[in-house]
Amino acid sequence: METWHIVVKGRVQGVGYRVACAGQAGALGINGWVRNRHDGSVEVMAYGPPDRLEAFCNWMRRGPPDAQVNALVALPGAGEFEDFDCLPTA
């Protein structure tokens, strides 16, 4: 199991990205959290098997239908999580 810290940039706020992200995480068995950031990006901390984290990142590069992802950066993260939560903007 690994933890990845992911930042997604583009048109990713106001398009249902966080809710869709949480749904996709649940479908893949990924735990962690997602939140909007004040700079307009979306931040994710994802915990799970590496192959599922890669599949999660592949989905996040597309996002929900109204999103337009311009960049995704995934780096090693910290922590273990039991659920996947939508957190308040930070």
Cβ pair 83, 36 in contact under 8 A = no
- Asked if residue 59 is part of any domain, the answer here is yes
Q: What are phi and psi of 67, to 5 degrees?
A: -80, 155
Number of domains in the chain: 1
Six token digits for residue 28:
């893949």
Residue 42 DSSP SS3: strand
Using CA atoms, how far apart are residues 48 and 58, in angstroms rounded to an integer? 15
Q: What is the CATH number of the domain that holds 18?
A: 3.30.70.100
Pick the closest to residue 8 from 89, 66, 74, 56 (CA basis).
Answer: 74
pLDDT string in tens for the chain (90-residue length) = 999 999 999 999 999 999 999 999 999 999 999 999 999 999 999 999 999 999 999 999 999 999 999 999 999 999 999 999 999 999
Active-site positions? 18, 36
